[in-house]
Amino acid sequence: MSEQDDYKLDCTAVIADVWLMLDNEGDQATRERLQYHLDTCGTCLEQYGIEEQIKGLLSRKCGGERAPEGLRQRLSIEIRRTVVIRTEAE
């Protein structure tokens, strides 16, 4: 099995987890798989760039305050669920 096979990810999964990369979260293996996918998939890289800009804008406008951990976890779950629901509906 090649490195490419190990790093194959569905674009939906990458978009759902893009905030892991933006927040420097997740384990090293997950970040490496996401980075490899972003390096090889222009569509996901573009979406990552949009999310990165949104995160920067929110940070600037919200004064860099960090949301409580419980809220962050609930939002993460909702974002993943929304992506899956939208994908299944299409």
Using 50, 70 and 90 to split pLDDT, how confident is the model at 64?
low
Instruction: Report the range out of 61-65, 71-75, 78-82 with the highest average pLDDT.
Output: 71-75
pTM here is 0.56
Angle at 72 (CA atoms; ends 20, 41), nearest 5 degrees: 25
pLDDT, the chain, mean? 78
Is the pLDDT reported for residue 84 higher than 60?
no
- The closest of 15, 42, 17 to 30, measured between CA atoms, is 17
Give the tens place of pLDDT for each residue, 24-42. Answer: 887 888 888 888 998 999 9
- pLDDT, residue 34, reads 87
Q: Average pLDDT for residues 41-52, to the nearest whole number? A: 89
